[in-house]
Amino acid sequence: MRKAFLFMMTTLDGYFEGQGHDISWHNAAGEEFAKFADNQLDEVDTLIFGRRTYELMAEFWSSEAAIKMEPGTATRMNNLRKVVFSRNPIHPDWHNVESSTSAVEKMRELKDMPGKDIAVLGSSNLCLTFIEEGLLDEIRIMINPLIIGKGTPLLDGTDKLRQFTLKDSRAFKSGNVLLTYTC
């Protein structure tokens, strides 16, 4: 069975996005982060998104600006298989995209297939569903060294205590800290 992991950026005060879905505060610049991102993408052959995250990612990573700014990451993001979970139809404008309305069933199917790991990028509501269903094996949270005061809390809506085991931590020169937990 393949491993599925969540990768999410957050602020010190626990938000994964600011008001109006703002992620302009993401501290993802520099050679160290680019190498980390490329290495993480090399672990996987499938990317999972909710609809809103998919739309943001597709718009950015298929752009000329992204290809010029981060060619290695853009190539990986554009070529990898992408599965989008949405209750509403999506416009698959990005390469190698399929959609599904049944997140739990499709994720179980994907995990049972042969291949590399599966990365769930962003999509907090979707991630909470996967946690509740026991479909995530790892949670990778990159804490950015800032507070924004308002926004959407990470994994908002959980209704019970869940405990995880710290597997690894890594400090970046930028001040970001990556915490990796096993589920």
pLDDT in tens, 121-165: 988 889 999 999 999 999 999 999 999 999 999 988 888 888 999
Ranges of beta strands (E only) in the chain are 4-11, 15-17, 44-50, 81-85, 97-100, 117-121, 138-144, 152-153, 165-171, 177-182
Q: Where are the domains of the chain?
A: 4-182
SS3 for 165-179, per residue? Answer: EEEEEEECCCCCEEE
pLDDT confidence of residue 160: 82
pLDDT confidence of residue 68: 93
In the beta sheet, which residues pair with residue 116? none
The interaxial angle of helices 71-79 and 51-61, nearest 10 deg, is 130
pLDDT confidence of residue 92: 78
Q: Which stretches of the chain score pLDDT less than 50?
A: none
CA distance 15 to 13: 6
In the chain, the amino acid numbered 8 is M
CA distance 76 to 57: 12
User: Domain 4-182's class?
Assistant: alpha beta
pLDDT confidence of residue 158: 81
pLDDT confidence of residue 36: 97
pTM score: 0.94
pLDDT confidence of residue 2: 95
Return mean pLDDT, the chain: 94
pLDDT confidence of residue 161: 87
Q: Which residues contact 163 (CB under 8 A, 6 or more apart)?
A: none
